[in-house]
A and B are shown apart, each in its own frame.
Chain A
Amino acid sequence: KAGVTQTPRYLIKTRGQQVTLSCSPISGHRSVSWYQQTPGQGLQFLFEYFSETQRNKGNFPGRFSGRQFSNSRSEMNVSTLELGDSALYLCASSLVGGENEKLFFGSGTQLSVL
Chain B
Amino acid sequence: AQSVTQLGSHVSVSEGALVLLRCNYSSSVPPYLFWYVQYPNQGLQLLLKYTTGATLVKGINGFEAEFKKSETSFHLTKPSAHMSDAAEYFCAVSDQGLSGAGSYQLTFGKGTKLSVIP
Partners in one complex: no
Measured CB to CB, the residues of A under 8 A from B are none
Measured CB to CB, the residues of B under 8 A from A are none
